[in-house]
Amino acid sequence: SDFYEDHPNYHTRLVLHVRDSMEDTVQASAAALDLIKNEQVSAIIGPRTSTQAEFMIKLANKSQVPTITFSATSPLFTSINSPYFVRATLDDSLQVEAIAATVKSFGWRSVVAMYVDDELGKGIMLHLSDALQDVEVHRSVISPEANDDQIYKELYKLMTKQTRVFVVHMGSSLGFRVFQKAREIGMMGEGYVWILSNGMTHMMRYSDHHGRGLETIQGVLGVRSQVPKSQELKDFRLRWRRNFVKDNLSMEENNNAEPSVYALWAYDSITALAMAVEKTDLKSLSYGNGRAFSNNKTDLGTLGVSHYGPSLLKALSDVRFKGLAGEFHLVKRQLESSTFEIINFVGKEERIVGSWRPSNGLVNANSNNTTGEKLGPVTWPGNSRVKPKGWEIPTNGKKLRVGVPMKKGFLNFLEAVEADPNNNSTNPKGYTIDIFEAALKKLPYSVIPQYFRFESLDDDYNNLIYQLSNGELDLDAVVGDVTITAHRSLYVDFTLPFTESGVSMMVPLRDNENKNTWVFLKPWSLDLWITTGCFFVLIGFIVWLFEHRINDDFRGPPHHQIGTSFWFSFSTMVFAHREKVVSNLARFVVVVWCFVVLVLTQSYTANLTSFLTVQRLQPTATTVEDLIRNGKPVGFQYGTFVKDILKDLKFNDAQLKPFGSAEECNELFSN
């Protein structure tokens, strides 16, 4: 063999005793019993599938014969509880975190776990559910013996559900049939998401003898264990392909003539066993405790116990080398967790769009990624590049029955337009409906509302609350301008309010007497006007007194001097005086007067602004007590809780005036 050619110094040789179980669990158990009882084998390479493992593991423990499996991946069988069971492959539970990370990276909130109803499928479900704790997980179970009609039935049932994200875990042959049927009924089109488990991702290429395995899974994502590239692996594949084609001339052009990862694990298992045997003491190579020949090859009573098994098991645990499938190192008698690749099946390619490691989590396959995406570009089913939502409107989905109060008046807020008189359904519109439908779109699943009109006497919302509470209305929810009150909360549950709650009082403006031509005189009182005028005259006289002897601007005929003095004084109000002031005393007076004028003008401007704005907007009433004391009529909208509040405030019924629209409200104010 290749191994002993590379290790000519080895003193031991393995002798293989081959048994074909024909894919049958009973045949596999009988073959294992025959090998232990009659051939006295030192180790068994098998079982091939998880369904064959349970009885063979019990035989191994009883006879102390190490049983090395390269393909039984179910977590139901652990090497911890089975000391002579060695898993030279990856436990299926190791991949669930990679699957969960892939689902969460796209933000999907619901998935369907489709698995085969045997040890292979059942073993992974508990671990997958734990990994997807933040995601709603539905289950779809398919029998390993399911015929085409049963597969069709299960797929059609899934089509009626909202969820469009499927995680598939089963054997590749059954998986090929499932994807064939899914493709026929349109479940491999745009909007669907399929994620394959490790075993299926590795084996779907080999699932059909005619090479159609990849054709059925276009756009599908898969999680698979990474097989490091090496020269040894490349040489092995060439030798394997050469021998395969030689033995199968009719398949010479088949591109699937490649060893699968399970073939690599099988090769590494034999290599590890050969290394372990070389390290053990062959003196214990014998059986004891009931080794007696019998005509019955499956007589459990004569099953012997291998003295060689414990030492061989210890040697296997110590073996460590770089195998074809990667680093071979057993931890608690099973392979360590490795890197998982995220694969996208496009054409005949298996594109790597990302990878997952226990230490780093999900990593984009593109080392130059600048978008922050955890996975590279994905081609989805239907050759779509748009990320699927993960849900669709189901073919028989139940609609959400939503009641809409039929109310007159403020139609911009809510208007129930009649659509179908036969069932009272409606196509409402308005601000409330816009908010409700925007909230529905934010949900991670599909909710289809069907609106129904609700009418009550006097548009009373309390009647609506009572009928909902008593079950008189066949509704799932109500959308409308229904205010949350403590009393109503005793009967129904409310969502968070989408507008600010509260009660406001709207009253007419007081008829302001300042609305006249002489409003500019109101900022100052009469005394201030007279005082200011006197000061203008006084300042003019003082400046003339100091300046007329030495300043030519203030000389001349008497009427000229009087006019100049008053002009100078009044022009300081707008700082437009042009006459020069020569006397220092006059300058001092002018500076002080300019400051006083500045204060006066600012005060006047502020008061005039107040008169023209704030004081013109004085309400006729500022408190509820004013309305009650004066017996003023008060309006309220039909059907609102405001009427109850007004009655609690001791308003008389004669004071209460209902209105249904803005026009009616304006009419009440006008009257």
State the DSSP string of 80-149.
Answer: TT-TTEEE-S--GGGGHHHHHHHHHHTT--EEEEEEESSHHHHHHHHHHHHHTTTSEEEEEEE-TT--HH
Q: Mapped to the 3 state alphabet, what secondary structure does 457-488 carry? A: HHHCHHHHHHHHHHCCCCCCEECCCCCCCHHH
- Whole-prediction pTM value? 0.64
Asked whether residue 101 is assigned to any structural domain, the reply reads yes
Residues 6 or more apart from 665 whose CB is under 8 A from it?
Answer: 635, 659
Going by C-alpha positions, the residue among 650, 622, 651, 620 that lies closest to residue 635 is: 651
Considering the domain architecture, whether residues 53 and 104 belong to the same structural domain is answered as: no
Is 456 part of a structural domain of the chain? yes
Question: Could you tell me if residue 502 is inside a domain?
Answer: no
Q: Is residue 524 located within the same domain as residue 471?
A: no
Residue closest to 421 by CA, chosen among 398, 452, 458, 456: 452
The per-residue pLDDT for 650 is 82
Q: Does residue 251 lie within any of the structural domains?
A: no
In a shared domain, residues 102 and 152: yes
Asked if residue 240 is part of any domain, the answer here is: no
Q: What b/e string do you get for 36-54 counting C-beta neighbours within 10 Å, with b at 16 or more?
A: bbeebbbbbbbbbbbbbbb
Which residue range forms the structural domain that includes residue 318? 2-89+260-329
Q: How many CB atoms lie within 10 A of CB 163?
A: 22
Whether 179 and 283 map to the same domain: the answer is: no
Q: Are residues 70 and 97 in the same domain?
A: no
CATH code, domain carrying 597: 1.10.287
User: 377 to each of 40, 233, 362, 366, 373, how far by Cα in Å?
Assistant: 55, 29, 14, 9, 9
Residue 616 confidence (pLDDT): 62
> Pairing relation of β-strands 349-357 and 340-346?
antiparallel
- Looking at the fold, whether 185 and 166 belong to one and the same domain comes out as yes
In a domain, 504, yes or no: no
Do 103 and 199 fall into the same domain?
yes
Q: Running along the chain, 671 residues long, what does each successive block of 10 average in pLDDT?
A: 85 90 86 88 88 86 90 81 88 93 92 93 91 92 93 90 92 92 92 94 78 84 93 90 77 65 93 92 70 52 80 92 92 86 92 91 75 82 92 70 78 71 76 88 76 70 83 86 84 85 77 64 84 84 79 74 76 70 80 85 85 68 79 80 82 82 81 75
Pick from 312, 367, 365: nearest CA to 340:
365
Contacts (Cβ under 8 Å, ≥6 apart) of 389: 164, 191
Structure token digits, residue 182 = 């899914």
Domain count, the chain: 5
54 and 139: one domain? no
| DSSP sequence for 513-538 | TT-SGGGGGTTS-HHHHHHHHHHHHH
Half-sphere exposure of residue 21, counting CA atoms within 13 Å on the CB side? 22
- Examine the domain organization and report whether 630 and 602 are in the same domain: no
pLDDT value of residue 397 = 58
Domain shared by 188 and 100, yes or no:
yes
Query: Does 611 fall in a domain?
Result: yes
Q: Identify whether residues 604 and 648 lie together within a single domain.
A: no
Q: Are 204 and 111 in the same domain?
A: yes
